[in-house]
Structure 1
Amino acid sequence: MNRFAILRHLYPALRDHQRVEHSLNQLLRSTLDSVYLNTTPAKPKLMRFYQRNFFSILFLSIYKALKIPSAHRQLYGVINQSIRGIVTGCDNILDDEYKSMLPLAFPSKAQRFSSVMHILLFDRFLEQVLDKAVNDALLNRADKDAIHKQIFSALVAIGAEEASEEGGVKTILRPDQILTTVHALKGGELLRLAFITPCYIENSPAVRQADQAIYKIGLALQVIDDMTDLVEDLSVGHHNYLVSSIYHEGNRQEQDALQACLAAPDEISTPIEVLFPTSTRLVMQRAIGEALNGFTELYDAGFWLNRRDAFGVIKDLFHLRGLSRLDPLWPTYQDHHPGLSDTIHGSEENAP
């Protein structure tokens, strides 16, 4: 299946996500006085909309492939977007940046306050959409409370991991430790947020299998982010899988280069694939393998994207994360690519 055919398969879910955003914009207009809103926000082009919302669209496409009813898909989409808004607002504050998901009209320099408003508004939207689901008889009150509690508990666990890295970390964990403690939360569990409500309401084997598959894709995605953010992570002292792999498993030349980077992270100008070619290739292949395993499990659960076609989608994810320059390192497709989880199991077997 070529890229155009994949986009054609995803297009109905893209339209579903447009309806999700329309629903949230209606909630926004009914919640916030128009004086605080940008009433003429720029409308993104279709491809830009697809790229910016790839995982939201992917989740909706999975729901449809698993034969989840339309009304439920709309509910899950709005819940997912509300969770995404809360997470984005928190990330903005923690990372001292501003990614907007709402057309707010506060001063351009008021980025922290705008981020706080994202958290407040999306939390309110989450409560409102769950209340509406109760009123529409999609949920009862006990279901609503249970789902809300599960979402909150998951967000706190993910946030607590992020909090543990504030101010920098002093120890470079082993790669398997990063996967099972750090990336399990801010990678795997982060993407699984989209399946808390479907698992509770649908409670089907296929949905539960998709939930586990998404965890693997989330793990891979966080490692891809680590490759993108290596310099930033070194500067602020955050855990990074590529750094860990070089430190604990790399050759002497790469370990020496890493020590120089640790001593002066702000002076790094050489790309990772030049500084650490062996480790970059290895980590890249592990991330590809883990994502492929996740997409394979999705296919087995009933999703339409097979393993070979997912290989190209994963390459697009590297591009979306700014890593198109790694294309020369891209492996040829194989029926089995060792993934990140394989290294965890190997470490457990070799542990004393």
Structure 2
Amino acid sequence: LEKIIFELDKKKIGISNKLLESIYLIAKSEGMRDRSIYENYPNYNFISHEIHGGIGGELLKIGVLVPLYREKNNKFKDISKALYCLGMSLQGLDDLCDMKEDFAAKKINLAISFFMEKLDIDDMKASKLNILNIDITKEYLNKIINYAMKSFDILEEIGYPINKKLGMKLLFHLFKIRGLEDLWNIYKKEEEDEKNNFRIYVFND
């Protein structure tokens, strides 16, 4: 990799600078998780864009940064977008699972911020919620899983052998590996309810 970067830099592509910028963004975003630097808890959108954009999206996207500039193939731009979306989804899921741990470690957490805003509670109460018994958990799950589905859509469009059905299977196994079947069931129930409501709407219309 070092040799490839050196050769690219000789061509004045500046890949080493781009790699350093990407690494800096990831490190900066991780540093921004420190609760002590904020007077008030950051809102959902700030955390999503300023923190998860680095530790989630950029962290996966950096994996194709070198071929993106080395290969003359526009597909790498789409792959980069797909990995970014997938990284955002995975980081969002991590935060949902790590609310108690992140609160104890004084780290900013996307899910905590989400529940704080939706339920008008403080971060301590949000971190102690039983997310399986809260109706709006499915709204959070929809938000983060939509990132993953967007990733799969991009990959399918550029010819990768994946579609929504296969993507759902991959997500199911990801949830299962982490012991999150109950959360997956919440998401699937919400999806089925939406389908049923749509059928009722069409039938009555």
> Which TM-score bucket, shorter chain as reference?
0.7 to 0.9
Percent of aligned positions with the same letter in both sequences?
Answer: 21
Residues 1-352 of structure 1: pairs in structure 2 closer than 5 A: 129-131=1-3, 133=4, 139-143=7-11, 146-166=14-34, 168=36, 169-250=38-119, 255=121, 261=125, 268=128, 271-274=130-133, 277-331=134-188
Distance 1:230 1:282, change over 3 A: same
Q: Which runs of 4+ in 1 moved over 6 A?
A: none
Alpha-carbon shift at residue 205 of structure 1 (Å): 2.1
Alpha-carbon shift at residue 201 of structure 1 (Å): 1.0
Alpha-carbon shift at residue 148 of structure 1 (Å): 2.5
Alpha-carbon shift at residue 247 of structure 1 (Å): 1.0
- Counterpart CA distance in 1 for 2:63 and 2:5 is 19
Question: Secondary structure of the residue that 2:151 maps to in structure 1?
Answer: helix
Q: TM-score, normalised by structure 2?
A: 0.80
Aligned-partner residue type, residue 157 of structure 1: L
Distance 1:176 1:144, change over 3 A: same
Alpha-carbon shift at residue 143 of structure 1 (Å): 5.0
Distance 1:260 1:211, change over 3 A: closer
- Counterpart CA distance in 2 for 1:134 and 1:247 is 44
Distance 1:296 1:224, change over 3 A: same
**8 A contact 2:19–2:65 mirrored in 1:** yes
Runs of 5+ consecutive residues of structure 2 not aligned to the other structure: 196-205
Alpha-carbon shift at residue 260 of structure 1 (Å): 5.2
Alpha-carbon shift at residue 317 of structure 1 (Å): 2.2
- Counterpart CA distance in 1 for 2:151 and 2:78 is 10
- Counterpart CA distance in 2 for 1:170 and 1:325 is 35
- Counterpart CA distance in 1 for 2:148 and 2:39 is 30
- Counterpart CA distance in 1 for 2:115 and 2:33 is 20
Tell me which structure has the larger Cα radius of gyration: 1
Distance 1:325 1:163, change over 3 A: same
Q: Between Structure 1 and Structure 2, how many residues are aligned?
A: 192
**8 A contact 1:187–1:222 mirrored in 2:** yes
Runs of 5+ consecutive residues of structure 1 not aligned to the other structure: 1-128, 338-352
Aligned-partner residue type, residue 131 of structure 2: I
Higher relative contact order (CA 8 A, sep 6+): 2
Question: Secondary structure of the residue that 1:305 maps to in structure 2?
Answer: coil
- Give per-residue Cα distances to partners, 1:35-94, cap 9 Å, x unaligned: xxxxxxxxxxxxxxxxxxxxxxxxxxxxxxxxxxxxxxxxxxxxxxxxxxxxxxxxxxxx
Distance 1:259 1:149, change over 3 A: closer
